Amino acid sequence: MTDKNITSVKIELLKSNISQTQLAARLNLSLSQVNMVVNGRRKTKWIQNAIASELGMQSEALFPSLEEKRPSTRTASRKNERQRVNEMK
């Protein structure tokens, strides 16, 4: 998530006159969970969807990174391990 995306989430919260604390209470989440998603340190899809819904927006508009599909680190490391094993044969 880029700085521009983080800023747009914060701007939408300001426009809606909703604090992160209020948002967390509405979603029955902790403030730290909401804060980490808003600041791009966590990309929990269902929380992103819930935040977008509370703000009356589409998730993809508020969090464009939802559209990006990246392999998990675990998947990528397994793939690298398999390649190394195959090269050794």
Tokens coding 85: 């094993």
Whether pTM exceeds 0.75: no
Cα–Cα distance between 62 and 48 in angstroms, integer? 8
Spatial separation of the C-alpha atoms in residues 66 and 76, rounded to whole Å:
19
Domains of the chain: 3-88 (1.10.260.40)
pLDDT tens digits, 24-83 = 999 999 999 999 999 989 989 999 999 999 999 999 888 886 555 555 555 666 666 767
Per-residue pLDDT averaged across 7-26, rounded? 94
pLDDT number for residue 32:
96
Alpha-carbon distance 24 to 18, whole Å?
10
